Structure 1
Amino acid sequence: VGGTLFSKNFSPLRLRVFGGTEPFFKKVPRRKVLEVFVGSMRRKVYQSILAYCFIFPFLIIFIFFLLYPIFYSFYLSFHEVTVFSDWYDPFGDMEFVGLANYFYFLGDVEFWFSLGITLIYGLLTIPLGIFLSLVLALLLSSKLRFRNFFRSAYFLPNVLDLLVVGIIWTLIFSPHYGLLDRWMGRVGIRVFSDGVLSDPWTCLPVIALAMVLKGLGFGMVLFLGAIQNIPSTLYEAAEIDGANSWQRFRYITLPLVRPVILFMVITGTIASLTAFAEVYAMTSNTGGPTVEFLGKTVRAANLAGYFLYTYFAEGFYGKAAAFSFLLWAVAMVISYVNVRFLYRGGR
């Protein structure tokens, strides 16, 4: 730091830092400059230390309960680890197998079937959930009577646990005594004698429908926030120019809620790849009715998340860890494609 602060480029502002009213280009003692500099650095260091003190508890929890398990699972994915491994000497009893666990799934028919029906499940839940959430948001953003009541009512199922919602829908779809079966019986419809959850063609769509209806409130709130932040002057200007309701929605509302759509696509993709509780509850922990796929008997609702759970439940921890990282890779690829597609469509 120099002893003289002088530049013709500075305007003659008053240097209030030094308690005077002299111009900025006046000679300033070296000692005062150093005092101000050191004081400023001390304040910054103090603020940094204070900020780290506030986030330190979270960092401890993050390191021990999230970061360490991720690296440890990645380590397990290269080893043969079962329930019979010596857990008192876990590192010494593990057998290093390299990429064998990964290649095991790449050659497994059930793995590809699980990914395929997970893709179908995502195609059923994500577009339908976004569409219905947007429709609800558009309806409840208007000057509708009791709209606050309807907003709360539609959001309430999102608060409930997935397992609870799955059990409720299982009771609704149950044959002989479920509400759906009784209503269909009153109008003379008897299509599924064993219930829709026992049919391999309807089991997965029914689970998807239940999860879409559960998550409508969350998407509705996101779209409501985005729609209410759109300036009304845009709609007024479009109306003056002769734009009808569809044109205002297409050229104003839809482009401005695109970030919400992107967020819901990515979170919906992750939810589809990790779907477990709904399958566990609505299929009584069976994975749904059996079907034949390439000569192998598989379960009709054996989604990727539930398939991963079965390997953990059976004690194949190394294979389960490898499968989880394969799912992570699939989620990253799908999310990247979604981001590129939606952003390109928005330009």
Structure 2
Amino acid sequence: MKINGKNIHNNITAYLFLAPFLIVFSLFLAYPVIYSLVLSLHKVSWTTNLYNIFSDMKFVGFDNYIKLFHDSRFWWSLIVTGYYGILTIPLTVFLGLILAILLNNKLPGVSLFRSAYFLPSVLDILVVGIIWTLIYSPHFGILPKILDSLGFSAFMDKGILANPRTALPGVAIAMVLRGAGFGMILFLSAIQNIPVSVYEAAEIDGANAWQKLIYITIPLVKPIILFLVIMGTIGSLNAFTEIYSMTQGGPYVVEFMGNIQGATRVSGYYLFEKWETMEYGYAAAVSYVLLFITLGISLVNAKMMRKKN
């Protein structure tokens, strides 16, 4: 096969265009993934010389993973993460769908309301966390004062974020109201792509508004629901910024397996604590376990949605 100069030139040009992506991908994705896997199989702590980390790492095999499954704090963080996901994912999907249905009408000012509901989703989580911390503050927050006027004076003493029963729901409410706007936009675009003739045919058959929602709208927006559930699952397992900005994993008053645990110590924050204490090998093992949990849940969700379809 004869290769002429033009083909060689085209190949070189293609590789040159791919080179920036491959370099960025290797430096910022492939290398960290491989390096963290190596770390998870070694004992690397604050005593390790970070300037010569490869020579000082002690290979321990799967000891970090074995230790992880005997760690009560890790198991507690998974329980809290599951609770956090149960609080946030269904509410975010439900609220986003309801907002999309309500705003899928040609009413005066509907564009303004769409923008207003979508705006919180573009704010940084840290900013949202600080705002809601001020709203929840027992000293000058507006929400505790409203609750106090309604007879819930207990919220004025400790505050919502300092109460182990209400701290995580308080964080969840803030994140649901932040994320519902994003879901609203996705649902709205999907609903507007449903042919009007489908609804008209259903009306001729005598379907009411509820039946059209259950048998037409929801089945046709199931891909959006699946996407939001998967993204919500990933977000719950990686939740950190909202916890860091609002509760720092506390209040630390919950006892589990003989240890005092934080009421809002989710897995992402537990991972941060291990990096903060410079237990790098153990932290890498935690991150890989969370990765496989995320992949497993995402695959199960996708399979369930396909079966229903």
Separation of aligned partners in 2, 1:208 and 1:188 = 23
Check 1:208–1:47 CA distance in 2 against 1; reply closer, same or farther (3 A cut): farther
Which of 112, 127, 130 matches 1:149? 112
Distance 1:342 1:142 in 2: 29
**Greater relative contact order (CA < 8 Å, ≥ 6 in sequence):** 2
Asked if the contact 1:280–1:287 (Cα under 8 Å) also holds between the matched residues in 2, the reply is: no
Match of 2:253 in 1: 290
Aligned pair count reads 308
Among candidates 51, 59, 62, match of residue 88 of structure 1: 51
Counterpart contact for 1:287–1:306, Cα < 8 Å: no
**Unpaired segments of 5 or more residues in structure 2?**
none
Out of 288, 299, 305, the residue aligned to residue 342 of structure 1 is 305
Q: Does 1:71 align with 2:34?
A: yes
1:115 and 1:343 map into 2 onto residues whose CA distance is 27
Is the CA contact 1:136–1:220 (under 8 Å) kept in the aligned structure 2? Answer: yes
| Structure 2 counterpart of 1:179, from 134, 142, 145 | 142
Evaluate the alpha carbon distance shift between residue 188 and residue 250 of structure 1 in structure 2; reply closer, same or farther with a 3 A threshold: closer
Instruction: Indicate yes or no: 2:238 matched with 1:274.
Output: yes
Q: Secondary structure at the match of 2:227?
A: helix
Greater radius of gyration (CA): 1
More helix by share: 2
Aligned-pair identity in percent equals: 51
Q: Aligned pair 1:309/2:262, yes or no?
A: no
2:123 is the alignment partner of 1:160: yes
The partner residue of 1:58 within 7, 12, 21 is 21
With normalisation by structure 2, the TM-score equals 0.94
**Structure 1, residues 124-156: CA drift from partner, whole Å, max 9, x if none?**
100110000000001111222211000100111
Residues 198, 289 of structure 1: 8 Å contact kept: no
Cα distance, 1:47–1:191 mapped onto 2, change above 3 Å: farther
Cα deviation for residue 56 of structure 1 reads 2.4
Find the counterpart in structure 2 of residue 229 from structure 1. 193
Task: Kindly provide the amino acid, as one letter, of the partner of residue 158 in structure 1.
Answer: S
Give the SS at the match of 2:108.
coil
1:44-87 deviation per Cα after TM superposition (whole angstroms, max 9, x unaligned):
x7666545433421221111111101000000000000122112
Cα separation, 2, equivalents of 1:187 and 1:268: 33
Distance 2:72 2:226 in 1: 32
5 Å-filtered alignment, 1:191-340, equals: 191-192=154-155, 193-283=157-247, 285-340=248-303
Aligned equivalents of 1:176, 1:220: Cα separation in 2:
34
1:17 equivalent in structure 2: none
RMSD: 1.9
Matched residues in 2 for 1:54 and 1:156: separation? 36
Change (3 A) 1:252 1:275: same
Paired AA for residue 268 in structure 2: G
Are the aligned partners of 2:41 and 2:60 in contact in 1 as well (CA < 8 Å)? yes
Shift of 1:240: 1.5
Q: TM-score, normalised by structure 1?
A: 0.84
Give the 3-state SS of the residue equivalent to 1:292 in structure 2: strand
User: How far off its partner does 1:210 sit?
Assistant: 0.6
CA–CA distance in 1 between the matches of 2:270 and 2:99? 34
Change (3 A) 1:84 1:54: same
The CA deviation string for residues 1-42 of structure 1, in whole angstroms up to 9 with x for no partner, is 9xxxxxxxxxxxxxxxxxxxxxxxxxxxxxxxx9xxx99x96
Give ranges in structure 1 of 5+ residues lacking alignment: 2-33
Distance 1:146 1:200 in 2: 41
